[in-house]
Structure 1
């Protein structure tokens, strides 16, 4: 990744941002809201509705389930303990949690491999949700178990057990790695084992409160407290019309993807993280050391320790994370120099229907989102070909 890519300075263009956001809504997204920063300039905007039944509008300050962006918070909490010597980044997980990852496998998988998804541990989700058993063969999946588990309270060790018992998806440390939520549930157990404090409470104290994020928290029930949008899941056209999943017990992902936040809080967090104010500069350098990882969409991406980069032609290198849950999606990216930031939330997921071969078909939302991201990151709306819209599946 070339950190010296020439960056074209583009101050915030409110009209271009508002137009790009409206285009996402017109393309079929019920609601979209965002905060974009350039130095001291801040733009916040929203388009569309938070409730398709009542027409209640979305607003820029709404709280949102931000999915796998949670992983960056969890990784930061682990690295803080690496700095104090309480966790060894290259120590085996079997040293800490031999009952959860026993035997030679536990000895071979290190903490680093969990954070960067090179452990070889399988994703537990298709085993916890029976109607998703055929994943990644989307045409053979169904949404039924999403409803069945709406209020299920999962035990994280049970979910980890499913991932560990499943056939390995690679050798420990091998590349490309495979993105797996099993890794981050193990990191949650590691945090609790080392400190005696539940992971969510520890991350709140050491990361969220340290960054001063007033609207960021782990859920203590199935509701999102405070102003928020309903979130709608289409599961590739199999749920028509899309169904509201804003009321959901998030124990199915815990410290991997359950966090609730706002776009303003996310920009503040990533700004502080990349400035070395959450973890030490040496830890940040570790976070930005990437390896190839296969995403849940089957694409090879560069992934570090809870961070991934995005190269934007004319805009430089951005670092951050994306995430989805049932119905909700978020992308938060900050330029390497910390000056330009973008956090965008959407309230519909899996909008692409499947073609005859079972692959997601292109949809106007895809291009409209890519255009919004480009305007937000570098103020250039014309060329969307090189901007990727990362949407990890249910993570």
Structure 2
């Protein structure tokens, strides 16, 4: 049998297969970023959609809340998606807000630049996050329970410092101390164990800024400008105070209300904690660098690993509530990781929010004494519109709701507080009361507005409650059957509310205070009234000699006690003006009030002698009773003077 045709056929087939195989080239697909999930019901985040939504929200919000101007910037996928200005930067000249050039005071968002500077020096091996900060200082931070303060604790607001507000702002350039002098002026007491209780601290951030200055060998303003602002091309941004001449014309004027006159430029002594002025588009560059592994337009301000360390670090004070990252705090909502920071000065309110999983960032700044909730409305609305929460299935109440809620019933005080000076008064007047309704729900004041309507909370997980009127969460850290503290998701990374011990409870302290003020008022008022009645009836004053002297001195003591109470009430009323640097005579009035306090305390001796003389004379039960009431009221003031530190020798607060 002839095999040649078969051979030829096999040869041709072999050649065909070889040729075909040679033409096949397998090329792997280019690596692509994983697709970003789009939640069900979400709007597509585009410039047109976001712009139309903002154009509906912002002009109405400004008008409704009597605000002058605002800027909103959104970045996405490595570029500016939109930047919009609303209202006016200067009402008198009609100058509109320009998102590229109009500067806003961004308050505590400044801290993110301070923490970035700290981490740059950590990268260089010049700073250690877990070392005693005294290693880098030319003055000393005393230990607490033998433990020092570390930079990690400063970045997570857990060094244990009490609140510090004295000279936080300056009234004018002549009184501007600057960051370095401010942190050395007074070291606040450490009232909590380090690394344990979150208590937001401007002093801690300012201290970190001074450490940057010390270790880098450059003034803080120069360092940030050279290592962050200039590399990112943030031409319209500065920490310098007063503003450089080239930037001053671009600063938005501050306004209390839309129809009010413009305010002067705010000067912040704690510069590293809150002195940045920046335009919307300048802040966009900073957000883009944070979202792109520390890089923007060829400038690398942080290594990718460093940025991951900042974002990935989590310190949750309350299980189930947002945690603190390194410098950034979580504002998580709708299942999205959201990191950022808010900022407030007297006349400006801002917020920066990063959605790292989505490559999205939002910055808003509003001009006004208050923002009327517009800032929160914008960010919550943005998240709900573009990253809505998945549908929720109604769940039955937890069987543990009544038992768990009962543990929380009581009074709580904010961890951001003072304990060594007269500012302790705020802790008495701002206590939060938690109660339990008949259906097991918790009932609290509005944590954002203690004078607002009560809020109800329903337990959705062990020791985690959701607001009946929204998405907000309240949680508790419970250890060994006792509540360590509670918080809500809006502030849990940086503040908690601690159970108030019985001796500090406003439940009896405030009624006692009201009673003694009433006793002093009656004693002071009835003194001249009794004299007028005697004169009208032609009756002589029954007391003579020393009894008359001590009676009159006891009434003077009552008047001094009233003046002392009125003086401290005035201090609390003017506290905001002092913090903002607008009350230059504040310290002088404090000394005057303390002098009145010393005289009032000495007046207790007069009340005691008056009571002694009253009880020596037979009969006269009215005089006996009111003399004892006045003496007891005077003695009770010693409790408030001591527990609230009303007669401190220093003026540090």
Of 351, 354, 357, which aligns to 1:337?
A: 357
2:193 match: 171
1:38/1:341 contact within 8 Å kept: yes
Q: Where in structure 2 are the equivalents of 1:167-316 lying within 5 Å?
A: 167-175=189-197, 177-221=198-242, 225-233=248-256, 244-250=262-268, 252-277=269-294, 278-288=301-311, 289-292=313-316, 302-313=323-334, 316=336
Q: Tell me how far 1:272 sits from its aligned partner.
A: 0.9
Cα distance in 1 for residues equivalent to 2:235 and 2:110 = 16
2:147/2:194 contact within 8 Å kept: no
Q: Where in structure 2 are the equivalents of 1:31-46 lying within 5 Å?
A: 31-39=69-77, 40=79, 42-46=81-85
Cα distance in 1 for residues equivalent to 2:144 and 2:87 = 53
Q: Tell me how far 1:256 sits from its aligned partner.
A: 1.4
- TM-score, L = length of structure 2: 0.48
| Higher RCO, Cα 8 Å, sep 6+ | 1
| Cα deviation 1:157-178 (Å, max 9, x = unaligned) | 44324552x3323211112x11
2:44 match: 10
Of 88, 104, 108, which aligns to 1:68?
A: 108
User: Which SS does the other structure have where 1:17 is aligned?
Assistant: helix
Matched, 1:320 2:320: no
Instruction: Name the stretch that deviates more: 222-231 or 77-86.
Output: 222-231
1:59 match: 98
Q: Tell me how far 1:342 sits from its aligned partner.
A: 1.3
Cα distance in 2 for residues equivalent to 1:101 and 1:375 = 43
Cα distance in 1 for residues equivalent to 2:177 and 2:146 = 23
Cα distance in 1 for residues equivalent to 2:53 and 2:270 = 36
1:81 match: 121
User: Which SS does the other structure have where 2:152 is aligned?
Assistant: helix
For structure 2, the residue ranges without an aligned partner over 5 or more in a row are 1-35, 295-300, 390-468, 473-488, 496-575, 581-653
1:50/1:228 contact within 8 Å kept: yes
Q: 1:10 to 1:116 in 2, by over 3 A?
A: same
1:362 match: none
| Cα deviation 1:28-57 (Å, max 9, x = unaligned) | 222122122333562222322333455443
Q: Which has the larger radius of gyration?
A: 2
Q: Tell me how far 1:266 sits from its aligned partner.
A: 1.1
Of 355, 359, 378, which aligns to 1:372?
A: 378
Cα distance in 1 for residues equivalent to 2:146 and 2:86 = 48
Cα distance in 1 for residues equivalent to 2:470 and 2:253 = 31
Q: Where in structure 2 are the equivalents of 1:346-365 lying within 5 Å?
A: 346-350=366-370, 365=372
2:58 match: 21
Cα distance in 2 for residues equivalent to 1:106 and 1:99 = 17
| Cα deviation 1:108-161 (Å, max 9, x = unaligned) | 111111121111123321x336xxxxxxxxxxxxxxxx7845752114344324
Matched, 1:99 2:139: yes
Of 131, 156, 164, which aligns to 1:124?
A: 164
Cα distance in 2 for residues equivalent to 1:106 and 1:321 = 32
2:337/2:356 contact within 8 Å kept: yes
Q: Tell me how far 1:323 sits from its aligned partner.
A: 0.7
1:369/1:389 contact within 8 Å kept: no
1:66/1:258 contact within 8 Å kept: yes
Cα distance in 2 for residues equivalent to 1:292 and 1:151 = 42
User: Which SS does the other structure have where 1:18 is aligned?
Assistant: helix
Cα distance in 1 for residues equivalent to 2:334 and 2:88 = 32
Higher helix share: 2
Cα distance in 1 for residues equivalent to 2:471 and 2:344 = 22
For structure 1, the residue ranges without an aligned partner over 5 or more in a row are 130-145, 235-239, 295-299, 352-364
| Cα deviation 1:74-124 (Å, max 9, x = unaligned) | 111111111111111101112222614145689511111112111112332
Q: 1:370 to 1:121 in 2, by over 3 A?
A: closer
**What RMSD in Å do the two structures reach over aligned CA positions?**
3.5
Cα distance in 2 for residues equivalent to 1:301 and 1:163 = 32
Cα distance in 2 for residues equivalent to 1:179 and 1:317 = 21
Cα distance in 2 for residues equivalent to 1:226 and 1:313 = 41
1:31/1:50 contact within 8 Å kept: yes
Cα distance in 1 for residues equivalent to 2:386 and 2:266 = 38
1:135 match: none
User: Which SS does the other structure have where 1:49 is aligned?
Assistant: strand
